[in-house]
Structure 1
Amino acid sequence: MITLVRRATALCALGAALAACGTAEAPQAPRPAPAAPSASPSGQAPSRPPTLAPGPAGLTPVFEHGPRADGRTVALTFDADMTADQGPRAAAGERFDNPRLIATLRKLKVPATVFMTGRWAEEYPDEARSIGRDPRFEIANHSYSHYAYTDDCYGLPTVSRERMRTDVERAYAAFEKAGVRNAMPYFRFPGGCYDKAALRELTGTGVTAVQWDVVSGDAFATDAEAVARQVLDGVRPGSVVVMHCTRSAAPVTEEVVRKVVPELRRQGYRFVKVSELIGAANGRA
């Protein structure tokens, strides 16, 4: 993954799906990003989620995929995108959630990591709380407003450097208000765009930035078979697949999951959350 993501056709579609217009809202008082414990299925005391050690010069670390030679594991991740100014569109009936997708993941018993914007959690607090309290899933941070952390990021409005940390912290505050107990210390940059300046600004939050190595191409796609094939062709052991949990911008994702999951299981893959891949890559921090 290069420093500023510039994948061609598939990522252009991804970026277009994430773009939104509007002006940033006034910043709120900073809140510390949580390094929350995850639920323990054994009933033992919860442990701190694994994170990567800081990068060079103490920069926020970036995770792209898990170990290639540590078994056939793959993490499906879903971006729950909603920008700060899309409330009127939601009020008019546009759906930025996808309950059917979440129901399918539950039915197929697929663990997953949902990278959620704070604005999405505000719009759909019951769904955010339900996902966050289901041990099959984990919620991670996708910013509050879904504004870019670099210039020239697929047309996204940008967050000023001095407001980047506040934007991350505001998302965690929105999760907490919605009833999400254990949001993970992982952050996905809107549009996948970042640079050293952005990594430097987020060092105080304690998050690990999570990218991906497989682009599903589900943004605005209408051919589920083509998206499924792109996922299947790209997955390798330890892969992180990026998809979307926004019905209006990614209408075929639920169908893609129904196609991809049985085939990957047939190939011997085991589905895990991002936290398991990070734990395998770097041990528990």
Structure 2
Amino acid sequence: MIRLSALFRLPSKVKRRARRNRMATLFYLTLTLALLLAPFYAIYRPPRLLIRYFQHRWPDVLWEVTPSHSSHSSSSQAAPGSDGGPGPDKVIALTIDDAPSEYTREILALLAANGAHATFFVIGGQVEGREEVLREAVAGGNELGNHAMHDEAARGLDLPVLEAQIGRVQGLIRQAYLDAGAGGVGEDGGVDSGVGGPRHQYFRPGSGFFSTEMRALVDRLGYRLVLGGIYPHDPQVPYWWVNAWHILSMARDGGVIVCHDRRSWTIPMLRKVLPELRRRGYRVVTVSELLDAAGE
């Protein structure tokens, strides 16, 4: 006796065709999703090939370097290894935007505890009442860069406005170096008389976007424009463990890390990142120390 279910059973060829159609549909859906997500992934985790292209396309902007480890400056001693032997061979620059803030002193303590240095990009509107914090940063072997007067997209500012803001912030930076007894950057871009002082003036535009006109202005004023290739998007991602994973998974010799002051989650992130980078054999350094390592 023929079962009723057999009457409704699809022939094997029809079933295979239906299965292939489902697989093809799934493949095209997956491909479409991947194509849609690819630009966002490239923004969140830009491949090194893309960063190298940027460095080639805009050589006056610092994205990363190729270190020449035999050219470390004598003033940038590596932290000793865990076995007491020679220090790490790899270098990575740590840059911290939106300084100073209520969290800066704690960041400075973490840097000192891990034998690390950083370049702090200063927002001029946040300096009043925190001048001593900037002095402490310089005295601790860190350096200060220029982030204009306010937390805003620098690319949207008229060039005369931006130039005026850069000048005001540079005056605050110069005073911090003088207060620290470390000299400072002079009006002409050179180093004032005193001990030490940065070799370069650095500028990072708010929001990270620049134009040809901005690059020309920055160059005329004697600055180097600094961006970077390791950026966890920490202003938008308030989860320290995600940001720590992002940095550690992308860490590479000669890289430039971009993170932010003025966020409470930066502290636990650095508690994880700094000792781990040291364990992996990195010196965490300022932009100037990174350029020294590259022989620039």
Fold match (TM-score > 0.5):
yes
Q: Which amino acid aligns with 1:260?
A: V
Name the residue aligned to 2:173. 175
How far, CA to CA, are the matches of 1:98 and 1:220 in structure 2? 19
Tell whether 2:97 aligns with 1:79.
Answer: yes
CA contact (8 A) 1:60 1:209 kept: no
SS at match of 2:215: helix
1:103-252 pair list within 5 angstroms: 103-135=109-141, 137-150=142-155, 158-178=156-176, 179=179, 181-182=183-184, 184=198, 185-246=201-262, 250-252=263-265
Equivalent residue number for residue 278 of structure 1: 291
* 1:231-283 CA distance string (max 9 Å, x none): 0111111111011111xxx2111111111122222222122211022233352
The worse-fitting range, judged by mean Cα deviation, of 254-263 and 116-125 is: 116-125
- Tell me the CA shift for residue 175 of structure 1: 2.5
Question: 2:203, 2:223 within 8 Å by CA — same for their partners in 1?
Answer: yes
Separation (CA, whole Å) in 2 of partners of 1:263 and 1:60: 31
Counterpart AA for 1:218: D
Q: Which amino acid is 1:112 matched to?
A: A
Give how far 1:66 is off.
1.7
Partner of 2:60: 61
Q: Which has the higher helix share?
A: 2
Alignment deviations for residues 84-122 of structure 1 (CA, whole Å, 9 cap, x no partner): xxxxxxxxxxx6543222221122221111111222222
Give the Å deviation of 1:230.
Answer: 0.5
Q: Does the CA contact (< 8 Å) of 1:121 and 1:175 recur in 2? A: no
> What is the correspondence of 1:19-34 to structure 2 with a 5 Å cutoff?
none
Task: Show CA shifts across 1:117-168 (max 9, x none).
Answer: 2222224111112112222x11111112343232xxxxxxx32122222221
Structure 2 segments unaligned to the other structure (5+ residues)? 1-38, 45-55, 70-88, 186-197
Q: In the alignment, residue 102 of structure 1 is paired with which amino acid?
A: L
Over the aligned positions, Cα root-mean-square deviation in angstroms equals 2.8
Partner of 1:51: none
Structure with larger RCO (C-alpha < 8 A, sep 6+)? 1
Identify if the C-alpha distance between structure 1 residues 200 and 60 changes in structure 2 by more than 3 Å, giving closer, same or farther: farther
Q: Which residue of 2 aligns with 1:17?
A: none
Tell which structure's C-alpha radius of gyration is larger. 2
TM-score normalised over the length of structure 1 = 0.65
**CA 1:8–1:116 in structure 2 vs 1: closer, same or farther (change >3 Å)?**
farther
Q: Which one of 277, 280, 293 corresponds to residue 264 of structure 1?
A: 277
Paired letter, 2:113: K
The 3 A distance-change label for structure 1 pair 118 and 9 is: farther
Give the 3-state SS of the residue equivalent to 2:259 in structure 1: strand
Moved more, 137-146 or 206-215: 137-146
CA contact (8 A) 1:81 1:96 kept: no
Matches of 1:118 and 1:138 in 2, distance apart? 15
Letter paired with 2:61:
V
Rounded to whole Å, the distance in 2 between the matches of 1:10 and 1:100 is: 32
- 1:147–1:226 CA distance, 2 compared to 1 (3 A): closer
CA contact (8 A) 1:64 1:212 kept: yes
The count of residues paired between Structure 1 and Structure 2 equals 210
Structure 1 unaligned regions, length at least 5: 1-6, 13-54, 83-94, 151-157
Q: Provide the rounded CA distance (Å) in 2 between the counterparts of 1:98 and 1:192.
A: 21
* Identity percentage of aligned residues: 25
Measure, in 1, the Cα distance between the counterparts of 2:254 and 2:128. 32
**Post-superposition offset of 1:220:** 4.6
Q: Structure 2-normalised TM-score?
A: 0.63
| Pair 1:69–1:174, CA change in 2 (3 A) | closer
